[in-house]
Structure 1
Amino acid sequence: MRRTVYLAVTLAVVAILAAATPISTAPNNPASELALLSATSRFHVQLGDLLTMNGKFDLARREYAAAANLTRAEGYLPVNELRRIANTYYFEQNYTNAMAVLEGFAREAGSLGEVEMQVWALADAAWIAGLADDQELMEGYLERVEVL
């Protein structure tokens, strides 16, 4: 019981930290987010969004992956592109792949020193692990968040 309360409090703190992330790092406003990207990258993201809305998740992931590669080439961490890829798996209830994408996102963010983004990715992975009813994996993600 005490462990569950502790995990809930930890997850709440992570959510607060993620909400406090500056807009320049992780834009909440789609217009400002897209302004940071090249026209080609924006096209891929917008096409991916359209495909996602129409339930064509495999095709959407390809577009988001193309946008992520362009964003990396421009010298930026592809935060929103990777989150969108994870979301497509989430929408399909493919929690294993969604967590794998977020895990990769966390590693990439960590390698670039983007601790806030790493926490954000791991917190999302913990939440999805909870949805997948994998308490042990959820606790593992939350413990990694605490270390950061």
Structure 2
Amino acid sequence: MEDESGIFARESAYLERYVQLGIASGRVISVSFPAAPEDDAEPDHPLLERVVAYLEGERDDFEDVTVALTVPTAHRTVLEATRAIPYGEQVSVERLARTAGLDADSDDDRNVVRDALASNPAPLLIPDHRVRDGPSAAPPEVEQRLRSLEGL
């Protein structure tokens, strides 16, 4: 995947929509869930194979997948902490704030967490669906299916 770039998409029966990956220089720059893929999206990519297997019930933490985060530093810290939430577990916004080194008692810091989750460029790979009282960058129906898949 080192030098690959492009848009890759595959339909998911479980999600009832497509999973679309944007990849630049072998790094994931976006994950989205459109009703129809981009016209130039390719259907085959090893990471898409893993995502489909995950959506069919195979556990995968996608820990080895490189996600290019071009976000503010505070958001990066939150999203990196979100990536560390294990499969099948969930945390609160407050706990995630503490894990990210923020003040869980501060409204401003909790808002930083919520803003980071809402603007997550790679939902599923950065599993914002595991934050029970935070927003997800995935559409609500996708978030609920991901939560259900992991028993949350």
Q: In which range does the TM-score fall when normalised by the shorter chain? A: 0.3 to 0.5
Q: TM-score, normalised by structure 2?
A: 0.35
Give the strand-richer structure, 1 or 2: 2
Q: TM-score, normalised by structure 1?
A: 0.35
Give the helix-richer structure, 1 or 2: 1
